[in-house]
Amino acid sequence: MKSKNLSEKILKLVKSKGFKYIDLPSVVEANHIVQRSGENFRKFIFSFIDQNGSELCLRPDLTIASCLRYLENNLRGKEKIFYSGQAYRKSNNKKDSIIRNQIGFEIIGSKDEKNDDKEIINTAIKSLSDLSYSTGTLKIGNIEIFNLLISKLDIPKRWKLRLSRHFWREDYFNDLLKRLETNSDVDPTIVEVDKKRYLKMLKDNQQTIFAGRSIKEILKRFDNKIKDPRGTSKGKNVSKIIKEFLKINCPINEAGEKLNFFFKKNKINLVVDQKYFPTSLNKIHKLNVEFSASFGRQLEYYTGMVFKIDIKLKSKNINVINGGRYDKLISDLGSKKQVPAVGAALNLNY
Amino acid sequence: MINIGIPSKGRLRNDILKIFKKNKLNLISERGERDLLGSINNITKVKILYLHAREIVERLGDGSLDLGFSGYDLLKESEIITQKKINVIKKYNFGKANLVIAVPDPWIDVQTVADLEEIAFEFKDKKKKRLRVATKYPNLTREFLFSKGVTQFKIVGSLGATEAYPFTGSSEIITDITSTGETLSANNLRVLKDGLILKSEACMMRSKSALKSSILNKIVKLLSKN
């Protein structure tokens, strides 16, 4: 966004909706980021060591910095906040800038989740009113529906967890589906050999620890694995259902109906009310509103509603806003209690 | 002056020296075997430097070596910016070893990387800790585990005797280079069924900024014959 004026207008608008401006530190503890996103996220962060040997990094994301603020200041209750600034992230794509200018707004610690979702989306749409775009799309997804579907499928529990965990990583998720369709994951010959070992280990002291895991723990998981094998034909069917689900894409006012038809057809005991979605309007201002079942994969931390807004500006398609619900982020960062949170970030790099 | 790097010790050094000898390139050092500088008999303008195998890759990357001999594993472990500056000219039939993931043998429920993926999340969710992986190859390990869905882990850098880490409480699992697997099993570790990260062998590598020299080309050609 070239004009400073415009970004000021946006900030003013967000403020007028009752959000409070906060300052966020530019540097955060790298450990927080790696703890939450895994070791591989290191590739994207700019990190360095301070004089005490602690690893710090430039904030790769304003949402994380904001959630850390909530956590570290022992804040409680509902907060409506907004902030603006730069996030820093390495990228393999040469075209991406390592500095990302963002404006973000969030509602943290409120239990009124459905209304908060609506408020964040409405604020996001309003914040675009000073941009002279011709058309655009508001795409809405929901990771909770995906997880509910997975919980109802006829596959071993470990596979359910695995599919839920990796929904956000599309390539690996597709690999998982392929594996689900093909061979079973328990090798009978190896199981025979290990069973002898299993019986022997049963006689050992169950509290003995090997590299952080007790014999009891190891044998329990071994037992579960053998008692809960996965058949190939079932796997094929489950994979088919998941793929069909991920193809659901429609105007938002048909989302409930489409999903319920799908659940009924596949004999899945789930019903979704149209009111579950933050809106049922197919057109808001210049934006077409769509539901997409596969949407929501760009970040690991989203847990429920997710959305993005793409607009056409000077004949270019621009992803201008991304947002969603991340109810587990603050607890993942170290809070004992789960703190509901929903927010959106406006991308100013165009 | 052309600079050629040869590993300063170990089996890799001996195997490399053999191919020089076989191709009638006589290496000489003024102060005997322990000298870290040398030359080739009857060829002027060539300096031989005996360096640590890891350092050979680095020096090829910064252009202070024109030609070097090291392991493919060490090249792949180096930073992308280093790798981009090096061409592998020849992969030899020696120095063969695999970089693998190994877990404590008593973990009988863990046979594949998929099992490991589950265990990693168990560590995170139930024990509120991250699974620690000890390795001399953090870059290759990180990338491999991530590509197999293991995202929740912590790398523990190791400089040697990595096999002992799981039993001294320094890590839970390891990745290490092995040719026969004997050291691993002697230390009560087991390689996962699909735990092969990289196949490695000795390589001749040329820095992309190497001097354009007919002598160098001749040496490369000779040593490419194996």
**Contact yes or no for A198 and B118 at CB 8 A:** no
Query: Does residue B212 share a domain with residue B183?
Result: no
- Percent of chain A exceeding pLDDT 90 equals 59
pLDDT given for residue A189 in this prediction = 65
| B-chain residues near A211 (CB < 8 A) | 103-104, 107, 166-167, 171-173
CATH number at residue B143: 3.40.190.10
Q: Does residue B152 sit in the same domain as residue B206?
A: no
Q: What is the pLDDT of residues A208-217, one digit of tens each?
A: 999 999 999 9
A132 contacts chain B (CB < 8 A): no
Rounded to whole angstroms, how far apart are CA atoms A193 and A191? 5
User: In sequence order, what are the residues at sequence separation of 6 or more whose Cβ sits closer than 8 angstroms to the Cβ of residue A45?
Assistant: A30, A33, A57, A58, A60, A88, A89, A90
For residue A292, the SS3 value is strand
Position B152 pLDDT exceeds 90:
no
**Quick check: A187 and B118 CB within 8 A?**
no
- Check: CB of residue B68 under 8 Å from CB of residue B8: no
Which range marks the domain in which residue B89 is found?
2-95+202-224
| B112 in the same domain as B48 | no
Average pLDDT of A183-188? Answer: 62
Q: Which residue, A202, A227, A225, A199, is CA-closest to A215?
A: A202
Q: Are residues B163 and B106 in the same domain?
A: yes
Kindly list the domain boundaries of chain A, sorted by start residue.
4-148+243-347, 188-227
Q: Letter for the amino acid at B99? A: L
Write out pLDDT tens, residues B71-128.
999 999 999 999 999 999 999 999 999 999 999 999 999 988 989 999 998 898 888 8
The answer on B86 and B15 residing in a single domain is yes
Q: What is the pLDDT of residue B171?
A: 96
Let me know whether B101 and B196 are in one domain. Answer: yes
Q: Which of B134, B148, B141, B152 is nearest to B198 (CA)?
A: B141
Q: Please tell me the predicted confidence (pLDDT) of residue A188.
A: 64
Segment A179-193 shows an average pLDDT of: 70
Q: Per residue in A282-318, pLDDT tens?
A: 999 999 999 999 998 877 788 999 999 999 988 888 9
Q: Are residues B150 and B218 in the same domain?
A: no
User: At a CB cut-off of 8 Å and minimum separation 6, what does A251 contact?
Assistant: A282, A288, A289, A290, A291
B194 in reach of chain A (CB within 8 A) = no
The answer to whether residue A194 neighbours chain B at the CB level (below 8 Å) is yes
Least confident of A67-76, A115-124, A187-196, A297-306: A187-196
Q: How high is the mean pLDDT of chain A? A: 89
Is A158 in contact with B112 (Cβ distance < 8 A)? Answer: no
Q: Kindly list the residues from chain A whose CB atom is less than 8 angstroms away from the CB atom of residue B173.
A: 211
| Residue, of A342 and B225, whose pLDDT is higher | A342
- Please give the model's pTM, rounded to 2 decimal places: 0.81
B16 and B90 inside one domain:
yes
For residue B163, the one-letter residue type is: E
CATH architecture label of A4-148+243-347: 2-Layer Sandwich (3.30)
Are the Cβ atoms of A166 and B149 closer than 8 angstroms? Answer: yes
Q: How many domains does chain B have?
A: 2
Beta strand pairing call for B173-178 and B43-51: unpaired
Q: Are residues B217 and B172 in the same domain?
A: no
Query: Closest approach of chain B CAs to the CA of A13, in angstroms?
Result: 39
What angle (nearest 5°) sits at the alpha carbon of residue A321, between those of residues A320 and A323? 160
Q: Quick check: A201 contacting B, CB < 8 Å?
A: yes
The pLDDT of residue B33: 76
Contact status of A192 with chain B (Cβ, < 8 Å): no
Could you tell me if the ipTM is greater than 0.90?
A: no
Residues B109 and B131 both lie in one domain:
yes
Tell me whether B108 touches chain A (CB under 8 Å). yes
Type of residue found at A238 = V
Integer Cα distance of A292 and A117 in angstroms: 17
Contact (CB, 8 A) for B102 and B191: yes
Mark whether B121 and B42 lie in a shared domain.
no
